[in-house]
Amino acid sequence: MPEPTLSRDELAGLLSGHFAEFLNPASGVTIEEVSHGSARVRQAFAAGMLRPGGTISGPTMMALTDFTMYVALLSAIGWVPLAVTTQLNINFLRRPEPVDLIAEGRLLKLGKRLAVGEVVMRSNGQPEPIAQATSTYSIPPWR
């Protein structure tokens, strides 16, 4: 995988302009690390994410997955905001604790037109994954 084209701070700045509904001071989303086609993103826990049984909602985890993969992709190809997700598959493995979510994404393949990445998600401080996902991106000409 190539060296990151965009640093963590550059990406956070660009994304908070373009994805203001997701990456804003109230959303609780922080890009913690960006490196070599990979990214770690934290979603702070909030009571509104809870579902019956005390579990965190699937859509919260799916939104975090999608965003983490997008950050990992842009860290490698630079600012190509029109890259679009074409497919996403997620396995919900364990019941998340009512704490922050930590998502780690990395590219499995970076082609000229398609990229595929994997995200593994954990409850903060827990070793076992709560979700695992792969997704595919269609990339407009970028090289």
Does the footprint of a copy of itself cover residue 7 (CB under 8 A)?
no
Phi and psi torsions of 100, nearest 5°: -60, 150
Give min distance, CB of 59 to a copy of itself, in A: 4
126 near a copy of itself, rule: CB under 8 A: no
Which parts of 69-88 interact with a copy of itself (CB under 8 A)?
A: 81-82, 84-88
- Using rule CB under 8 A, residue 48 touches a copy of itself: yes
Of 5-13, 24-32, 34-42, 129-137, which segment contacts a copy of itself by CB under 8 A? 129-137
Query: Which C-beta is closer to a copy of itself: that of 4 or that of 96?
Result: 96
